[in-house]
Amino acid sequence: MIRVAGSWKRPRRAAVAVAMAMAMGASPALLSCTRAEGECGPGGTCPEGRSCHPTYNLCYVPDAPVVSWASPQVDETLTGATAVVSGIIDSGGQYTAEISIGRPDLWQPLSVSSAGQFSTAIALPLSNGEPQPLRVRTTRTTPSGASVAVSSIYRAVDNVPPSLSFSERAPRPTPTTVRLVASEPMSSTAPAPGAVPLGGSEPAVQGVWNADRTEVRYEGLAHDATYQVQVPAGGLPDRAGNPTAAAFTVTFTTEPVAPAPDATIPVGGLDLTDLEASSDGEGAVSVVLASAQGIVVWGELDARTGLFRALSQATGNGLLGFQTISAPMPDQRWGDGTSKRAGGVMLSRVAGGAQVQSVIYQDVYPGAARGTFASVNPGGLSYLPGPGNCAEPPGPTTLELDAAGGQIVLRHGGQPPTPAALPAAPSWTLFHSAAAGEWVSLAGGTLSRVPRICTCGAQPACALGAAQAVGSGVAAGSRISAASTPADDRAYAYDTATGRALTCMRGCGGGACTNVGSESGSLASELSVAGANQGSLVLQAERSGTSVVLFLRDLQQGCGSGPSPAQELGRLTSGSSIRRFRPVMFGRRPGLLYLSTAGGPGVLRTFIP
């Protein structure tokens, strides 16, 4: 027997040789009397790679220690922070042992019994089901140095809780089919959470797992409806039994119904002559129309049906211009479940020989019934929806002309008005978010933007920034078109003496933008822009010969000295019969609203490439 690390072991090669010699009648004494080749030298020394048998004084080549693993078993997945590892080390020499799991190897001492048995708890590395190396390293000391042997197995370790994510970028409008995505396959017993409608009468939509249980799919969601999916902490386990560590909640609003492409939208049999349109961040479309009959109609494309719904109308004799605003009200809904959207129309007309500005908007704030309209007339200059934030409560924000002093004042809800430092009465109102908007004014040929930014804890909470020049040489009475992106970029279209121009600006979130250039077109270009509701993209529409072309432009890719519009989305080839056109987002689909005189009086039509 050989003593190994405080215990006795039987040498597998030398002992067998001696036993065989004794069985054949040979005497061990002969080995000590005559020094045969392979016998230990003075002091028990042996040639390189051999060990001296302490009893028989023979040099032999010991076998490397052999590890037999008892646990963990094959196909066993280790979970939790620690695991018990056990087995037997069979060795023919003295050694020390260490153990490690994972990468890199972090060795720790391993205690082995006199019979070669070991059992120890070892800390597991963080792993999401990947096979991890489990190793035992033995080291023997020889006269020539250390001899090291490593025995390895691989076992899966899964001790990372699963996480959940949403397939779409909320709060942008989502399709009516969405998914809840798991970071790894989930347990076959994990229930699929449902999507619960908020503020409406729709039933909850039950989710359905896919084949490998990595996604929960929700199909058949209602248009223009807000849903919420909630999973409590620990609510869903993965296949290894690890539960979700944190609670998960997502609230999203589905896209409105897009009208049919190339559809004619009847508006009371009117001969439509002029058009302005805007689409909000959820893709709902607000429209104002002028007619040869002197009637101005303001309305919207119904988010649930895609059909035009008139909101208000007025006579438009002496009409000079108008703008419509549509803006989503975050997490606010009418009693029928449809989204609350702040909408308004700013009219400029001649009355009594003077130019009069009028503001009409739908009151969507607490306590207001659907279809309740407010008017700031005369003296109404502009309107911004105020959905409410940490800086101020919900309520309309209007610009008005103080009849007594002739000064432009700013009023929020029922609060007293305050003076507003604007270069002139606004030609355009831009709603960017609940905390940011701006007014675009034209004075002396200079187009300027004045931002309004609300900041929590600031005094005053919502303040007007300094006027910033957008373009010069702008024609008097120019028809303005402006677009904003979620990435805080801006695009402005306006008239000059040589035609329509486009100015692009970036990084407007802090108040001042960086002007990245302008482009000029011909007098026939009739260029206009609209927000594309994602990234740094805007829609751009312009007339080209007898066609109207719809582009998708990325403002981060340049303007002026930069490239041409990045992508042509579609071309409307009946341009000779088109009186007016505007780009809009129909839900998630870009397109055009246009007035066509083909075959009769002007009618409102859709173009969706």
> What pLDDT digit, counting tens, does each position of 206-260 carry?
999 999 999 999 999 999 888 999 999 999 999 999 999 999 999 988 989 999 9
Same fold, 164-253 and 264-607: no
Task: Please say if the pLDDT value at position 37 is more than 60.
Answer: no
Residue 18, SS3? helix
Q: pLDDT tens for residues 486-509?
A: 999 999 999 999 889 999 999 998
Q: Is the pLDDT of residue 18 over 60?
A: no
Q: Mean pLDDT highest for which of 5-14, 235-244, 322-331, 364-373?
A: 235-244
Question: 562, 515 in Cβ contact below 8 A?
Answer: no
Q: According to the model, what pLDDT value does residue 171 have? A: 61
- pLDDT value for 317: 75
Contact 393, 360 (CB under 8 A): no
Rounded to whole angstroms, what are the CA distances from 426 to 80, 89, 323, 326, 394?
A: 64, 86, 11, 17, 23
DSSP letter at 39 equals B
The CATH architecture assigned to 264-607 reads 7 Propeller (2.130)
pLDDT band at residue 27 using 50, 70 and 90 as cut-offs: very low
How many whole angstroms separate alpha carbon 108 and alpha carbon 202? 60
Domain borders along the chain are: 2-60, 164-253, 264-607
Q: How many CB atoms lie within 10 A of CB 487?
A: 16
Taking 50 as the threshold, does the pLDDT of residue 4 lie above it? no
Radius of gyration (Cα) for the chain, nearest Å?
39
Taking CB atoms within 8 Å and a gap of at least 24, the contacts of 125-129 are: 125/101, 125/157, 126/159, 126/160, 127/102, 127/156, 127/157, 127/158, 127/159, 127/160, 128/158, 128/160, 128/183, 128/184, 129/77, 129/156, 129/157, 129/158, 129/160, 129/184, 129/239, 129/240
Is residue 328 reached through a cis peptide bond, with omega within 30 degrees of 0 on the bond before it? no
β-sheet with 319-333: strand ranges across: 319-333, 339-351, 354-362, 373-376
Residue 310 β-bridge partners = 299
Tell me the per-residue pLDDT of 133-170, one tens digit each, with 9 for 90 and over: 999 999 987 655 678 889 999 999 999 999 999 998 76
Tokens 């340049």, residue?
558
pLDDT digits (tens, 9 = 90+) for 334-367: 877 778 889 999 988 888 888 888 899 999 988 8
Q: How far is CA 293 from CA 268, 269, 311, 347, in A?
A: 11, 10, 18, 17
DSSP assigned state of 185: P
Share of residues in the chain with pLDDT > 70 (%)? 91
Instruction: Evaluate if residue 3 carries a pLDDT over 90.
Output: no
For residue 408, what pLDDT band results from cuts at 50, 70 and 90?
A: very high
Pairing outcome for strands 408-412 and 397-401: antiparallel
- Spatial contact of 287 and 592, defined as CB atoms under 8 Å apart: no
158-215: per-residue pLDDT in tens? 999 999 999 987 667 889 999 999 999 999 999 999 999 987 667 899 999 999 999 9
Question: For 164-253, CATH number?
Answer: 2.60.40
CA distance 250 to 95: 58
pLDDT in tens, 432-477: 988 899 999 999 999 999 999 998 888 888 889 999 999 999 999 8
Number of H helices and E strands in the chain, helices first, is: 2, 49
The residues near 36 (Cβ < 8 Å, ≥ 6 apart) are: none
